[in-house]
Structure 1
Amino acid sequence: MWDSLIINPMINTLLVIYNLVGGNFGIAIIVFTILIRLILYPLTVKQLKGTQGMQDLQQSKEWQEAQKKYKGDREQLQREQLRLYKEFGVNPMASCLPTLLQFPIMIGLYQAVIRALSVTPIQLLDLSKHIYPFVPAAAMIPLNNRFLWMDLSQPERLMIAGVGIPVLAILVVVTTYLQSKLMQPPSSNPNDQSAQMARTMNLTMPLFMGYIAYIYSSGLALYFLVGNLLYIAQYAIMGRLNWKNLLPQKKAVPVQNSPVQNSPALKKPVKAGEKKKK
């Protein structure tokens, strides 16, 4: 089932693109990533609307009053939140669906890249079982796995002075962080639970994606990098990038009166002729 729905379509799509772009598997992965983003574009728009709806709800007077009213009752606050979801027409899953769909695509692409770049007779025999009859695979296999300085079937390292630098993994970390920061809507309450969770994800997700790009094939890392850049470009076209999120946020420090200023003794009127006692 997994092979039929995910692996086989990906392998054959990559082979067809590879044939069309003149036998460059790196370009094939880039074109494949663009196709995936175009297919997911309607879901991206829905994600944007869902995120905007969540932002409007969090800034609404009804939600702020509910937080104050049910501050000590978590269950009642959750019920009130669900009611406001319906009232505002917000679907929390709408903002998560494109992200969730990326995981089967990510796993499938990794397996598709590894199988498409088969070199041994046994691997080539296994690959032939996944190729559709109309794909002219005989003229293409084995595929050219070189792209720039990379072997797309192996983890990427750029050798500089004898040291392997994981350039793609670093770029994946940077672009994933930029993506999460630029697309994060401003929060009216920085101490809100959802805002705190977003800040945590802004740190953990780039590191997780960078680690995957570091240990797995560079073909998958290339997909991550191009996908991040396209995702940022889509939001830029829609005018939804929050550039202010990249600036350091100043924390408001509450001003407290000193104990001396609040002392009752200072509030008593001084009687005429009253002298200080030494």
Structure 2
Amino acid sequence: MWDLLIVNPFTNILLLIYAFVGNFGVSIILFTILIRLVTHPIMAQQIKSSAAMQELMQSDEWKKIQEKYKSDKEKLAQEQMRIYNERGVSPFSSCLPTLIQFPILIGFYQSIVRAISASPLQLLAVVRSIYPGLENITPAASLSALIPIQSKFLWMDLGQPERVILSILPFGIPVLAIIVGLTTFVQTKLTMTPSASPNDQSAQMNSMMGIYMPLLLFYFSLNFASGLAVYFIASNLVGILQYAALGKVNWKNLFVFGSPKSEKPKAKIIKR
């Protein structure tokens, strides 16, 4: 069922794009942009939820319970959940795009590995997974004729973990994995929802995501096929551009450790 719903469609889309552009690395980047466009409504809803969360945290009601129950964490959490439910706001809404990304990246990784298979049995499995309706709509004689795929892109083999070998070093440098970690960190910080208090659930979740997601994706990129790292980098950069186009990027967040706090409104000076 997983192959039928996720891996096979992803493999066919990758092969279809590859048939037109002739470069598997570029195919991965274009497919990533396509995925970002398809999931844009989810991201837009997440931005809307984040704005609602920020408005809630700046409200007088929120500030009152923060002050009233500052010494009773359990009661404070109960009151926070009550307000969340009353206003229809979820403290975990900003994590939804990240959670959705996991099945996508698993399926994407499997489709990359399948598309650049080397053994005869694996190549046969790729050919059998191609949809008959797509065979004759490409510049090539057929999608099957493209198998096996050329997996070289720039200096790397997209089917293998990437390393840059320097003669002066006894080990390879994982350039792509480092770029993945940095771009994930930047995207997470730039899209983080400001918090009125570092102790609320949303602030704690944002802070954890800002630390663990870059490390997790760095680990994946370090140990798995470099095609997945190309996907991560392209996805992060396109995501930042999407947020910037919507006016939701705050570069000041890059210089704030942990979850950024909401700016307090300045007191008005009344002249007499």
Judge same fold: TM > 0.5, yes or no.
yes
Tell me which residue corresponds to 1:156.
162
Alignment of 1:18-167 (within 5 A): 18-21=18-21, 23-71=22-70, 73-74=72-73, 76-134=75-133, 135=135, 136-161=142-167, 163-167=171-175
The one of 148, 168, 183 aligned to 1:175: 183
Deviation at 1:193, TM superposition (A): 4.7
| Inter-partner Cα distance in structure 2 for 1:37 and 1:185 | 20
TM, length-normalised to structure 1:
0.83
Tell me how far apart the structure 1 counterparts of residues 80 and 198 of structure 2 sit (CA, whole Å): 18
Give the distance between the partners of 1:67 and 1:148, measured in 2 at CA: 53
Partners of 1:248 and 1:71 lie apart in 2 by: 24
In 2, are the aligned partners of 1:7 and 1:111 still within 8 Å (CA)?
A: yes
Structure 1 position 190, deviation (Å): 3.4
Correspondence for 2:255: 247
**1:8-40 deviation line (CA, Å, top 9, x unaligned):** 10000000000011x210010000000000001
Q: Are the equivalent residues in 2 in contact too, given 1:117–1:145 (CA < 8 A)?
A: yes
**Cα distance per residue 1:25-61 (max 9 Å; x no partner):** 0010000000000001000010111111112212211
Question: Across the two proteins, how many residue pairs are aligned to each other?
Answer: 248
Equivalent-residue separation in structure 2 for 1:40 and 1:174 (angstroms): 23
The 2-side partners of 1:145 and 1:231 are apart by 26
Matches within 5 A, 1:184-199: 184-199=192-207
Q: CA deviation at 1:149?
A: 0.5
Q: Which runs of 5+ in 2 are unaligned?
A: 136-141, 258-272
For the Cα contact (< 8 Å) 1:46–1:95, is it kept in 2?
no
Aligned twin of 1:225:
233
TM-score with structure 2 length normalisation?
Answer: 0.85
Shift of 1:123: 1.0
SS of 1:122's partner is helix
1:55-111 superposed Cα distances (whole Å, 9 cap, x missing partner)? 221221111212333445555444432332244332345423221110001110111
User: In 1, Cα distance between the equivalents of 2:94 and 2:10?
Assistant: 25
Structure having the higher Rg = 1
Deviation larger for 98-107 or 62-71 = 62-71
- Quick one: distance in 1 between partners of 2:254 and 2:149? 42
Pair 18,175 (structure 1): closer, same or farther in 2 beyond 3 Å: same
How many Å separate the matches in 2 of 1:40 and 1:110? 18
